[in-house]
């Protein structure tokens, strides 16, 4: 059993994606002898060095002009066959969820999704800690077999930067696009706004807002703070906001320095997505709302009065 890890990740416009650096850092903490990072992206070569700082022992970059799942799968499959790593780790972001599922099925390998931690056991097999049953339990699972797969939930582990410079080489994109060619991509519902997963301040709204139009209050509070906007599943299910905005177990996990929850009850499925934020401020008119159990500052008030006042203060 090889205690080596291949981390597959992305290079964004501003460098190696934070989600990828989280995976590399976690791979190092897992006790891997070697951590190879395979980075996909347009300017992957330029950014690849940062992966070494996070703990990669080698880096291969794949310059891809457009995203192709089939080609990524063929490329990573080739790399796995070359080095037989004990674990292939990716972020549980859109790319990782898709690619890990395809490869684990194709190679008939074990797969633990949405992990909060990965570690090699004394027997050399990887173990993972992952939420189950809507986050009600944290399961410790052992991955058997020569090569296993895991995806790591975003924003749940720290990024380390005490690694060294490493050798960077190119890995050729393999396979073909299988007839599917990505001809364009919209920035999505959050286009032009601060990215929720990476934001240092998040203002989120819940059903307490009562009407979709009242989300304007959240936008007005977010603007002076340059904050990203979040929402509960209630809000998303009601069609007030797109799924991209959802924070929680089935949405995004965020760890901003400041999280302001407005009209949000604090159901466990929402809390697992934001409770590790640096400072939590909650506005709710029910003093018994569970959100106050995790809040550093609680404002028991009618949000329709308190939120505009707070926004006005911040604007000035």
Q: Summarize as ranges the residues that interact with ligand FAD (CB under 6 A).
A: 134, 206-208, 232-235, 246-251, 263-265, 267, 269-270, 273, 283-286, 289, 302-304
Which one, of 270, 305, 315, 269, lies nearest residue 285 by Cα? 305
CB of 152 to ligand FAD, least distance (A): 18
Exposure string of 12-49, with b = 16+ CB inside 10 Å and e = fewer, is beebbbbbbbbbbbbbbebebebbbbbbbbeebbebbe
End-to-end Cα, the chain, rounded Å: 61
Asked if 34 and 4 touch (Cβ cutoff 8 Å), the reply is: yes
CB of 250 to ligand FAD, least distance (A): 4
CB of 209 to ligand FAD, least distance (A): 8
Q: How far is CA 77 from the centre of its chain?
A: 23
CB of 159 to ligand FAD, least distance (A): 24
CB of 278 to ligand FAD, least distance (A): 20
Q: Where are the beta strands (DSSP E) in 82-214?
A: 87-91, 111-115, 117-120, 126-132, 137-142, 148-152, 168-170, 201-205
Place of tokens 């703990």: 55
CB of 154 to ligand FAD, least distance (A): 13
Nearest CB to ligand FAD, comparing residues 251 and 298? 251
Rounded Cα–Cα distance for residues 4 and 172 (Å): 21
CB of 133 to ligand FAD, least distance (A): 9
CB atoms within 10 A of CB 135: 16
Nearest CB to ligand FAD, comparing residues 148 and 249? 249
Instruction: State the DSSP code for 30.
Output: T
Nearest CB to ligand FAD, comparing residues 1 and 301? 301
Rounded Cα–Cα distance for residues 30 and 91 (Å): 15
Nearest CB to ligand FAD, comparing residues 163 and 266? 266
Q: Where are the beta strands (DSSP E) in 92-147?
A: 111-115, 117-120, 126-132, 137-142
Nearest CB to ligand FAD, comparing residues 157 and 264? 264
Residues in CB range of 312: below 8 A, 6 or more apart: none
Nearest CB to ligand FAD, comparing residues 166 and 299? 299
Nearest CB to ligand FAD, comparing residues 7 and 267? 267
| Chain position whose Cβ is nearest to ligand FAD | 248
- 91 bridge partner residues: 152
Task: Dig out the tokens for 278 from the structure.
Answer: 């640096």
Task: Dig out the tokens for 274 from the structure.
Answer: 């934001």
Nearest CB to ligand FAD, comparing residues 88 and 283? 283
Task: Dig out the tokens for 241 from the structure.
Answer: 């906001």
CB of 93 to ligand FAD, least distance (A): 15
């Amino acid at each position: 059993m090889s205690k080596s890890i291949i981390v597959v990740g992305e290079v964004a416009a501003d460098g190696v994606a934070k989600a990828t650096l989280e995976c590399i850092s976690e791979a190092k903490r897992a006790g891997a002898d070697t951590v190879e990072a395979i980075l996909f992206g347009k300017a992957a070569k330029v950014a690849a060095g940062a992966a070494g700082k996070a703990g990669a022992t080698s880096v291969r970059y794949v310059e891809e002009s457009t995203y192709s799942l089939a080609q990524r799968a063929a490329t990573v499959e080739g790399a796995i066959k070359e080095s037989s790593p004990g674990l292939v780790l990716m972020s549980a972001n859109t790319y990782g969820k898709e690619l890990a599922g395809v490869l684990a099925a194709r190679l008939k390998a074990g797969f633990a999704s949405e992990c909060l931690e990965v570690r090699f056991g004394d027997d050399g097999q990887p173990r993972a800690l992952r939420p189950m049953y809507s986050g009600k339990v944290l399961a410790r699972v052992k991955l058997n077999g020569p090569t296993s797969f895991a995806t790591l939930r975003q924003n749940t582990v720290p990024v380390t930067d005490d690694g060294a410079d490493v050798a960077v080489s190119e890995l050729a994109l393999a396979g073909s696009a299988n007839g599917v060619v990505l001809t364009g991509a919209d920035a999505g519902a959050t286009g032009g706004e601060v990215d929720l997963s990476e934001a240092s301040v998040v203002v989120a709204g819940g059903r307490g807002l009562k009407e979709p139009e009242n989300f304007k209050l959240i936008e007005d509070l977010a603007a002076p703070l340059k904050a990203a906007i979040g929402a509960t599943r209630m809000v998303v299910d009601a069609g007030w906001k797109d799924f991209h905005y959802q924070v929680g177990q089935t949405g995004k996990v965020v760890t901003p320095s400041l999280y302001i929850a407005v009209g949000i009850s604090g159901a466990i499925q929402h809390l697992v997505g934001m409770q590790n934020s640096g400072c939590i401020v909650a506005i709710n008119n029910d003093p018994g709302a569970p959100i106050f159990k995790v809040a550093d500052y609680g404002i028991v008030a009618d949000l329709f009065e308190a939120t505009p006042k707070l926004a006005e203060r911040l604007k000035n």
